[in-house]
Amino acid sequence: MYCNFATFILSALAVSGANAYTWTRCTNAEQCMAGEVPGPPKGVGTPYGGFYIPVYDSCTDFEYDTKDGYWYSHEKDGLFVSNTGYLRTAHDCNLVWLRSKNAAVGTTAWWKHLGGDCCLPDEVGWDIDNVGAYYTGDQ
C-alpha cells in the first residue's frame, strides 16, 4: 500500500510541475499543445538549444519585427508569433520551438494538430529570443 501511495504522490507532483504554465495574455484561441522534437534520423540533423532538429524536417526560421513585436516566418507565408503569444502554424509546418530570453523558461516546443492558430503560455509567448518551426508528419 505504501508503495502505491508514494507512486501516486510522486505522479501528482510531476503532473502539477509539468502544467505550471498560465494562459492570460492570449485567450482568443485554444491552448497550444506542449511538444517535443521528434527523434533525429541517424546521421542527419543539427543540435539546437537542447533539441535535435532533423535537417529535412525544418520548414522555416522566423525574424523579429521591431515595429509590431511579432515574429514572422522567412519561408512560409502567414506563420507568426504575436507579442501576446498568439501562434499561427500551417498544416505542413505545425511544430514551433521557441527559445526564451528567460533562462528559467529555456527552449520549449509547441504545436497545433494539423496546423492553425493557438495560444502559447504567458511564460513562453513573450520575451522570445529565437523561433523556428518544422514539420511533424501527419500530426
**Phi, psi torsion values for 54, nearest 5 degrees:** -60, 135
Kindly report the number of other CB atoms within 10 A of residue 11's CB atom: 10
The predicted pLDDT at position 61 comes to: 86
pLDDT in tens, 20-65: 899 999 999 999 999 875 444 444 455 555 655 544 467 888 999 9
Residue 4 lies in a domain: no
Q: Which of 33-47, 65-79, 120-134 has the lowest mean pLDDT?
A: 33-47
Residue 1 lies in a domain: no
Percent over 70 (pLDDT), the chain: 69
Residue 6 lies in a domain: no
What residues contact 25, with CB distance under 8 A and at least 6 apart? 84, 85, 122, 125, 126
Average pLDDT over residues 93-116: 91
Q: How many residues are recorded in the chain? A: 139
Structural domain range at position 82: 30-134
Residue 75 lies in a domain: yes
Residue 106 lies in a domain: yes
Residue 7 lies in a domain: no
Q: What is the mean pLDDT of the chain?
A: 77
Residue type (1 letter), 9: I
DSSP 48-116: ETTEEE-GGGEEEEEEEETTTTEEEESSSTT-EE-TTSEEEEBTTB-EEEEEESSTTT-EEEEE-TTSE
CA distance 55 to 61: 12
pTM of this prediction exceeds 0.85? no
CA distance 36 to 110: 8
Q: How many domains does the chain have?
A: 1
Residue 10 lies in a domain: no
